[in-house]
Chain A
Amino acid sequence: MSHVIPYGAAIQEAIREEMERDEHVLYFGQNMATSPDDPFLRAFGPERVRVTPISETAEIGMATGAAMAGYRPVVELYMAEFTLVAADQVVNEGPRFHFMSKGAVSVPTVMVAGYGFTCGWAGQATGSLYGMFMGVPGLKVVMPSTPADAKGLMTTAIRDDNPVLYFRHQLLLLTEGEVPDGEHAVPFGVADVKREGSDLTIVATGLTVHTALAAAETLARRGVSVEVIDPRTIAPFDVDTILASVARTGHLVVVDQATRHASVAAVVVAEVAELGFDSLRAPISMVTALDSTIAYSQPVEDYVLPDEHKVLTAVEKTLGLAPVPA
């Protein structure tokens, strides 16, 4: 049994259920729970649900301290760029402590960061920064593309004993989808095959999973069978599912909303080039954002971002297909 809810509501549902299940879960951040009618405040009270000042270093740092003291804080950061204000806390504090203490402390925090808000938010609030955090030892990084994964990955993030950076795609907030009823936890490090296919593999993350699925549908009408893989978590990162798919299809296109050299796509390409080269029957194609700051004005914004047409062009090139006029 399942129910249909938007991506944003699925995240809230997971947090609410985990707060009901475990009194150690805390939820706090800027501009939340300021009204006595706030549903979280009403359900869990002002000890566990709090609004903070606009102080990212303190917010993330307090999450780390509360976690070291035995609680499971979820800190709402709204925009992923705010992690940069507090980059030391995200990268160089919590993720180090379990290691440096030889396991004497653990830091089960969830940092919820909205990203990819490419709808006129201009240069400083539209970034796709996840790639920066992919190689931070001790930090887990998740980026769901559907309501079901949004809920399931949040459940797992709260239960995980490590710092988790949860990237929430801002353009997907209102996208509806089926979410399994009852407890729903999606394991970390397990990629999801969003569509099965045999001719070509597309690996995509976040919003671009939907771009890839749209392209796959278009290509299906032309008799081309495309497999779409969503890693779902980029640390840990499930390379095996990608390698197994490429072993069957022999062709790979990687789609990513981030700029080319700071993308997950670049890591996928590197892994397949090293570990799956023998499977490839054609060069890999990358469809990423162009190396520029995101513009305010829509035509300029659109120009640098991946879209279905760019994905189709990449697939045509990889498979040696004749382009179909638009």
Chain B
Amino acid sequence: MVVGNAMNGGTAEALGPERLVWIYTQMFRIREFEERVKSTFTDHPGIIRGHTHLADGAEASIVGCIAALAPGDQILTSYRCHGYPIALGTDTKLMMAEIYGKANGLCGGLGGSMHLYDPPRGLLGGSGIVAQHLPHAAGAAWVAQIRHRGEAIVCFFGDGASKQGAFHESLNIASLWKLPVVYVMENNNYNSRTRTDQEDANAAAGEPLSTKAKAYAMEGITVDGGDPVVVYATMTEALARARAGEGPTLVESLVYRLSAHGNLIAPPGVPLRYPDHEAIAIFGNRAEYEAALRGDPVPRFRHRLVIDGTLRDVDADSIEAAARAEIDEAQRFALDSPWPEPDSGLRYVYA
């Protein structure tokens, strides 16, 4: 069952205008950041190496989840990890410098786009290997359970991860031990260039992927990840269950990523860039992609806040202008930052 707008009104009232505007602000900041990462490939070719994965399209889901966290909660992410720290308050200058491989990047250029860490703000890290951070989240949740401070862990991953053994092993133990963890599957309907119904038995049978929770005697729910208020409400309930010792929840958050899985994978010498989304590039389904653009959660949420009187158009414009200025500065900082000392590669091998 997809939870839609039915539960929406009450939650929006409970959140209050200030939090709703905060949510929109973070959504827009993430969008602006990701678009800047993407345009770097054309504006400053060669600066970004390797592979980046963007969160555009998933902003509502990301911010709805982060908004539901309490102090002391911690999160772990997949390699599609830029959005979460932005909402947690990590300095976008340091993030962009990390993605540009610079010395004063968040991790000194040692981690890059797929490996962002900010433990003081609750981002414990993640994994560049699909699904391998799901057990890390269970381990961190075990510690939260032992500490008895009512803290919980949220673990973000894509639908592809649910085909990995690490997913099934982790959900089994998390439910068996009633660990305070919420597993958030951002289902964007594509595992790289494979459509979900080509690789997932539930999807092929027309079932939501949250059905998998049933196998582990845990709560499973599917929500519209394009609506941050619905996501927030769902996460608030799931986190309350986790904190109360009632065990984990699998939240399937339906999103549409608006960029391709990642930038082109190519050996040196080939200019990197973002190809078309797989709906177009692989499946020739431009109509699907254009429908997704029309449903873009960022303008959709702005429109809603303006319509219901929470946000004036002029204030929304100021929020967006401020975000653009912030990301301009982040990019300038990253471009102007020095390269790391080559021998920093030997400084952090061992703790």
**B-binding residues in A (CB < 8 A):** 26, 47-48, 50, 52-53, 55, 57-71, 73, 88-89, 92-93, 97-108, 137-138, 140, 161-162
Contacts and interface: CB of A to CB of B under 8 A. Distances in A.
12 contacts: A26-B142, A53-B169, A53-B173, A57-B165, A58-B170, A61-B139, A62-B138, A68-B124, A89-B135, A92-B132, A98-B351, A108-B351
Interface in B134-178: 134-146, 165-166, 169-170, 172-173, 176-177
B110 A100 contact: yes
Interface string B246-287: 000000000000000000000000000000000000000000
A102 B107 contact: yes
Contacts of A50: 177
Contacts of A137: 349
B139 A64 contact: yes
Nearest to B142: A66
B144 A69 contact: yes
B76 A102 contact: no
Given A98-B351, A162-B351, 14 more contacts: A48-B146, A53-B172, A61-B132, A61-B166, A61-B170, A62-B142, A65-B135, A65-B137, A65-B138, A69-B139, A69-B144, A92-B132, A93-B132, A138-B350
Given A66-B139, A68-B125, A103-B351, A88 B132 contact: yes
Interface-central residue, A47, A57, A89, by most chain B CB under 10 Å: A57
A98 B348 contact: yes
Contacts of A88: 129, 132
Interface in B321-351: 348-351
B139 A65 contact: yes
A41 B115 CA distance: 37
Interface of B: 74, 76, 106-108, 110-111, 115, 117-119, 124-125, 127, 129, 132-146, 165-166, 169-170, 172-173, 176-177, 348-351
A94 to B, nearest CB: 9
A75 B129 CA distance: 22
Contacts of B125: 68, 97, 100-101, 105
A48 B125 CA distance: 24
A69 B143 contact: yes
Majority-rule SS of A interface residues: mixed
A102 B111 contact: yes
Contacts of B146: 47-48, 71
A140 B110 CA distance: 20
Contact of A161 (B108, B127, B136, B351): B351
A58 B107 CA distance: 27
Given A57-B165, A89-B135, A103 B348 contact: yes
A12 to B, nearest CB: 22
B173 A52 contact: yes
B136 A62 contact: yes
Given A70-B143, A88-B129, A64 B107 contact: no
A21 B3 CA distance: 49
Contacts of A26: 142
A212 to B, nearest CB: 30
A224 B132 CA distance: 54
A61 B143 contact: no
A65 B126 CA distance: 10
A98 B142 contact: no
B138 A61 contact: yes
A61 B135 contact: yes
Which residue among B169, B172, B350 has the maximum number of chain A CB atoms within 10 Å of its CB? B350
Contact of A68 (B129, B132, B140): B140
A57 B168 CA distance: 10
Given A100-B110, A105-B125, A62 B145 contact: no
B120 to A, nearest CB: 9
